[in-house]
Amino acid sequence: MDTMLVIKDKDGKPVDDRFGFGGKWDGSPDFSLYYPMTVRFTAVVVAKGAAYNPGAVHWRMGDLHWKDVKELRGVIPAWQRGQVGSVLAAAEKEEDPTKAEEARKIAEGVKAWAAKRRKEIEDRKLSLPDWAPGALARLGALLSPAPLGKEYLAESKEWEKDPVVQASRKAKALWDSVRDALRKVKGKGKASDPAFAAQFAAELRRIAQVAGRLRKEFPDTPAAMDALAAAGALGLSLPE
Amino acid sequence: MQTGSILGVAVAVLLGGGPTPPDQFVLVDALHTHDLETKGFSYFPLNADVPDNWKAPLNFYEGQIRIRLEVISKPSDKPVNLQLCVFQDRHSADKHS
């Protein structure tokens, strides 16, 4: 069995140039209208007659599942409701030696799962600076009242204040402001071609200005690197 | 950048056979970037909880599928639709069973 997600345009045509779809979707062949597109996608299958439980998305965390719990059965109701922080807090506080081994396994498993989620977010901290701090805060809230939840919440606030994140945010907004201009010229020619340069003079000037600002004001941000690559491909000279 | 746009969902579910006690399971839960490598088609590994048999002992085949899509970032205002496909080729060599 396989699971596949298909991205389609407004008319339901797959945004792809394979399998005969090239030229059929809105905006074809300009993939920059759609990609890169980052999504969080969740699908839960519910048996006939059963009521959907929003907490089911957390029934499995890594190798852990509430149905496998043998000793620490007190955590199962919270786990079934998706209250991950309550499960972790209870496992960390367990003092009954007959339950200690399972409690340790659950605590370590939830923490490993949380660390993986945190890493997913951190990996996008600079490329998606408007999203990442809030995503970490939501993970922190999910893990509360366990200490790890508070730790992530505090870290999300630090991310919000982080000058590197703020610079990435400003750089991304600046680069986004010329995306329409970039789309008009990308892959269509070089600034060294007089006819191309004349036809798209306004767009090329604006892109060069923004790329120059990004290089100067926000170096090393993902947006600046995208801008410099685009400017290079267009053969643009950037203002100092 | 567009945030939180969900303009359409189409679902195709074709299934196959093994018991599973819980009455729901996560089919996909992914943070994913569609790019020029994936283009329109992205594949996801099955979660450990996906049963072999979707008809017994619990009837997932005639159940429901709950989908949530958060578009975190995309480069234009173009509306998009999403299609989720669940299929299997194991018992049919030249077409989806």
Does the beta-carbon distance from A34 to B79 stay under 8 Å? no
Does the beta-carbon distance from B26 to A37 stay under 8 Å? no
B68 → closest Cβ in A14, A42, A47: A42
Q: What is the pLDDT of residue A239?
A: 87
d(CA A148, CA A142): 10
The Cα angle at residue A75 between residues A74 and A79, in degrees rounded to 5 = 145
Q: How far is CA A25 from the centre of its chain?
A: 25
d(CA A97, CA A103): 10
Q: What's the pLDDT tens digit per position in B44-77? A: 988 888 988 899 999 999 999 999 999 999 988 8
3-state secondary structure of A28: coil
| A vs B: CB pairs below 8 A | 251
Count of alpha carbons within 13 angstroms of residue B1, beta-carbon side: 20
Q: Which two tokens stand for residue A223?
A: 């947006």
Contacts of B44 in chain A (CB under 8 A): 3-5
Does the beta-carbon distance from A59 to B81 stay under 8 Å? no
A18 → closest Cβ in B32, B39, B87: B39
- Report the chain B residue with the minimal C-alpha distance to residue A21: B40
Does the beta-carbon distance from A47 to B63 stay under 8 Å? yes
- Between the CA atoms of A91, A93, A94 and A95, what dihedral angle is there, to the nearest 10 degrees? 160
Q: What's the pLDDT tens digit per position in B75-96? A: 888 999 999 998 876 655 554 4
How far does the CA of residue B7 sit from the closest CA of chain A (Å)? 8
Q: What is the pLDDT of residue B17?
A: 36
- Report the chain B residue with the minimal C-alpha distance to residue A131: B72
Q: What is the pLDDT of residue B92?
A: 53
Q: Which two tokens stand for residue A48?
A: 């006939």
Q: Are strands B81-87 and A60-61 parallel, antiparallel or unpaired?
A: unpaired
State yes or no: pLDDT of B3 exceeds 60: no
State yes or no: pLDDT of B14 exceeds 80: no
DSSP label of B94: S
User: Contact A59/A79 with Cβ under 8 angstroms?
Assistant: yes
Residue type, A108: E
Q: A84-93 and A132-143 helices cross at what angle (nearest 10)? A: 50
For A50, counting Cβ atoms within 10 Å of its Cβ (0-12 exposed, 13-18 middle, 19+ buried), the class is: middle
pTM above 0.95, yes or no: no
Q: Are strands B81-87 and B9-13 parallel, antiparallel or unpaired?
A: parallel
Residue type, A132: A
Does the beta-carbon distance from A48 to B60 stay under 8 Å? yes
Q: How far is CA A235 from the centre of its chain?
A: 31
Mean pLDDT confidence for B14-26: 61
Largest CA distance in chain A: 81
Count of alpha carbons within 13 angstroms of residue A35, beta-carbon side: 21
Residues whose CB falls within 8 Å of the CB of residue A60, separated by 6 or more in sequence, listed in order: B26, B47, B48, B49
B80 → closest Cβ in A4, A7, A42: A7
Q: Tens place of pLDDT for every residue, chain A, 240 residues?
A: 889 999 999 999 999 999 999 999 999 999 999 999 999 999 999 999 999 999 999 999 999 999 999 999 999 999 999 999 999 999 999 999 999 999 999 999 999 999 999 999 999 999 999 999 999 999 999 999 999 999 999 999 999 999 999 999 999 999 999 999 999 998 899 999 999 999 999 999 999 999 999 999 999 899 999 999 999 999 999 987
Q: What is the pLDDT of residue B13?
A: 33
Q: What is the pLDDT of residue A206?
A: 97
Contacts of A52 in chain B (CB under 8 A): 24, 64, 66
DSSP E strands, B35-74 = 41-44, 64-73
Q: What is the pLDDT of residue B89?
A: 64
d(CA A64, CA A79): 11
Q: ipTM of the predicted structure?
A: 0.83
